[in-house]
Amino acid sequence: MRISTAQLYQQSVSQILNKQTALGRLQAQIASGKRILSPADDPAAAARVLDIDRQQELTRQFQTNADLAMKRLENEESIIAAATTTVQRVRELALRGRNTHLTDDDRRFVAAEVRERLKELVALGNTIDGNGDFLFAGHQAKVLPFTQDATTGLVTYNGDQGSRLIEVSPGRTIADGDPGDAVFMAIRNGNGTFVTGPNPANTGSGVIVSGGVTNAPAWTGHDYRIVFTTATTFDVIDDTTATTIAAGVAYTDGAAITNIPGVSVSISGAPATGDEFNINPSANQSVFATIDNLADALETSIGTPAARAFFAGDVNRSLEDLDQALEKFLEVRATIGARVHAIEGQKNANEDIGVQLTALRSDLEDVNLVEAASQLQLELTTLQAAERAFARTQGLSLFDFL
C-alpha cells in the first residue's frame, strides 16, 4: 500500500482533531455534570427530562399550595377555637342567669356580658387573613361577612356558601376554609332533630323539655302541638296533616310524653287549660341568634309564674342551641383536623415523588463522573500519543539525507 505525504499529514491531523472533539465533549459533560448536552445526545431521554422537569415544577407548586392551605386551615382552626371559648363562656353565663334567685337587675348584668360576647363572636367571624380577605365570607372575600343590626341586634351573613379548593396533588383538591354560613349560620336548633317551645299565649307554669329522639326512623319531621284541653289532660295534634293523633291523654308532671312517633318530650309544672306546646322539626339558627335570644330572655322581667315558665323554657332552649353551636364548632374543627392531616400526608407523598423524580432525572441526564473521568484520561493519553506520533512522522524525510 502506498501512502501519499499529504495523506499522512491529513490523517494524523484529522485523528488529532477527532480526539480533541471527543475531549471537548467529555470536558463539557464533566463541567456541567450532564450526560445530555443537547436533545440530539439522547432524544428520548431529553423529552423525558422535559416532562420530569414539568412534574418537578408542579410538585414544588403543590407543596407551596399545601403549605398555604395548611396555614389557612390552622388560622381558621384557631379562630373557631376562640369562638368555642366565647360560646362556652356564654353557656356559663346562661347557667348563671338561670338561677331564679337572681334579681331582674342581676340578670340584666349577665345579659350585658352576653351581648358583649356576641359582639366578640361577630368580630371573630369577621377575621381577615394575610391578604386582607375575610376568612368566613366564602368567595365574597372583600365583603364583610357578618353585620349586626344596631337596633335589633340581629346578625346577617353577607357572604356566600363557596369554599376555595386548593390543588395539592394532580386532581386532589382540599378546601382551605369554610364559609361563615356553614360555621356560624347553618346550625340546627333544638336538639338537632326537633325543637320544643311554649305558645306565647300560655298562662300556666308548664315548661316543656325535649327528651330526645327515641327512634330516628319513626320521626316524621311534621309539626306537632300538645294542647291542654283541661289542666290534667292534653291532646297531641299533627299540624302538618291536621290530625289529632292522641286525645285526652292524662298529664303527669315531668313524665315522658311518647305519643309523637320517634321522639319523647316531657312537660313539668302546672299548665293551664288551653296552654299549648309546639314540637317542630329543627331549622337552621345562627349562633348569633341563639346568643341574642338568650340575652333577650335574660333581659325579660319574670314576675309571673307564666313568665318564669317562659324564662325557664327559653334558657333551656338557649342551652340546647348553644350545645348545637358548640357541636357544630367541634364538627368543623374535626373536618379541619382531617384536612390538615390529609395535607400533611399529601405533602409527604409529594416529597417522596419529588425525590423519585430527582433520582429519575439524575439517571436520565447526569453523567457518571467516574466513568467520564477515566474516559477523559484515556482520551488524553491517546491524544498525546497521536501528537507525538505526528511529530515523529512529520520529522522524517528522505530529503534530509540528500
Partner 1 sequence: MPDIFNIGVSALLSSQRMLGTIGHNIANANTPGYSRQRVEFEARPPQILGNFFVGKGVNIADVSRLADQFLINQVRTGTTNHSQSAAFLEFSSQLNNLLADAQAGLSPGLNEFFNGLQDLGNHPSSVPTRQTLLSQAQTLVARFHEQFARMDEIALAVNDRIEIDVDHINELAQSIADINRAIAQTSGQAATGAANDLLDRRDQLLEELSGMVGVQTFEQDDGAINVTIGNGQVLVVGGTAMNLVAVNNPFDASRKEVAYDTGAGPSIISAQIGNGELGALLNFRDDLLDPTRNALGRMGVTLAQIFNAQHREGMDLTGALGGDFFSIPAPAVNANSGNTGTGTVVAAFDPATVGNLTISDYTLTFSAGNFSITRLSDNTTTLLGGAGSYTIDGLTLTLGGVPVAGDSWRIQPTRQVPRDIGLLITDARNVAAANPLRSRSQLANLGDARVTAPDVTNAANANLLDTVTITFDDPPTTFDVVDTTTATTLASNVAYTSGMTVSFNGWSVQLTGAARAGDQLVVEYNAGGVGDNTNARLLAALQAARVLDGGTANLQDAYGSLIGEVGAQTHQAEVNESALKALLEHAVNSREEVSGVNLDEEAADLLKFQQVYQAAARVVASANQVFEELLNAVRT
Nearer to partner 1, 221 or 345 (CB): 221
Q: Residue 257 forms beta bridges with which residues?
A: 265
Q: Which residues pair with 155 in a beta bridge?
A: 148
Cα–Cα distance measured from residue 332 to residue 329, given in angstroms and rounded to the nearest whole number: 5
Query: Any contact of residue 160 with partner 1 (CB under 8 A)?
Result: yes
Q: Which of 12, 25, 42, 390 binds partner 1 (CB under 8 A)?
A: 42
- 254 near partner 1 (CB under 8 A): no
Residue 131, interface with partner 1 (CB under 8 A)? Answer: yes
Long-range contacts of 313-318 (CB under 8 A, 24+ apart): 313/196, 313/197, 313/198, 313/207, 313/208, 315/94, 315/97, 315/98, 316/207, 316/209, 317/189, 317/190, 317/195, 317/196, 317/197, 317/293, 318/94, 318/290, 318/291, 318/293, 318/294
Give bridge partners of residue 276 from the DSSP assignment: 227
Residues 6 or more apart from 145 whose CB is under 8 A from it?
Answer: 125, 126, 134, 136, 137, 138, 157, 158, 159, 180
Backbone angles phi, psi at 268, to 5 degrees: -125, 165
How many residues form the binding site for partner 1 (CB under 8 A)? 66
Residue of the chain from 22, 30, 112, 141 that contacts partner 1 (CB under 8 A): 141
| Minimum CB distance to partner 1 smaller for 57 or for 351 | 57
Q: How many CB atoms lie within 10 A of CB 102?
A: 16
Choose, by CB under 8 A, the member of 22, 23, 58, 372 that binds partner 1. 58
Query: Whole-number minimum distance, CB 321 to partner 1, in Å?
Result: 15
Q: Is 61 helix (H, G, I), strand (E, B) or coil?
A: helix
- Smallest separation (angstroms) from partner 1 to the CB of 108: 31
Pairing verdict, β 155-157 and 207-213: unpaired
One of 82, 112, 113, 162 touching partner 1 (CB under 8 A)? 162
Q: In what order do the strands lie in the sheet with 276-281?
A: 194-198, 276-281, 224-228, 233-238, 243-250
From 153, 192, 261, 281, residue interacting with partner 1 (rule: CB under 8 A): 281
Q: Within 174-193, which residues bind partner 1 (CB under 8 A)?
A: 181, 185-186
By the 8 A CB rule, do 121 and 346 touch?
A: no
Give whole-number Cα distances, 96 to 93, 307, 327, in Å.
5, 18, 21
Residue in 50, 123, 338, 380 binding partner 1, rule: CB under 8 A: 50
Stretch in the footprint of partner 1 (CB under 8 A) among 94-102, 129-137, 293-301, 371-379: 129-137
- Please give the Cα distance from 315 to 317 (Å, whole number): 5
When binding is defined by CB under 8 A, the residue of 284, 304, 358, 394 that contacts partner 1 is: 284
**Measured from the CB atom, is 88 or 193 closer to partner 1?**
193
In the complex with partner 1, the residue whose CB is nearer, 137 or 309, is 137
Query: Which residues between 11 and 40 bind partner 1 (CB under 8 A)?
Result: 11, 14, 37-40
Q: From CA 183, how far away is CA 328, in angstroms rounded? A: 7
Site string for partner 1, 334-373 (x = CB under 8 A): ----------------------------------------
142 binds partner 1 (CB under 8 A): yes
Is 97 in contact with 293 (CB distance < 8 Å)?
no
Give whichever of 132 and 303 is closer to partner 1, judged by the CB atom.
132
Supply the minimum distance, in Å, between the C-beta of residue 341 and partner 1.
20
Nearest-approach distance from CB 345 to partner 1, in angstroms? 20
Residues forming contacts to partner 1 in the complex (CB under 8 A) are: 1-7, 11, 14, 37-44, 46-48, 50-51, 53-54, 57-58, 60-62, 64-65, 68, 131-134, 137-143, 157, 160-162, 164-167, 170, 173, 181, 185-186, 221, 281-284, 396-399, 402
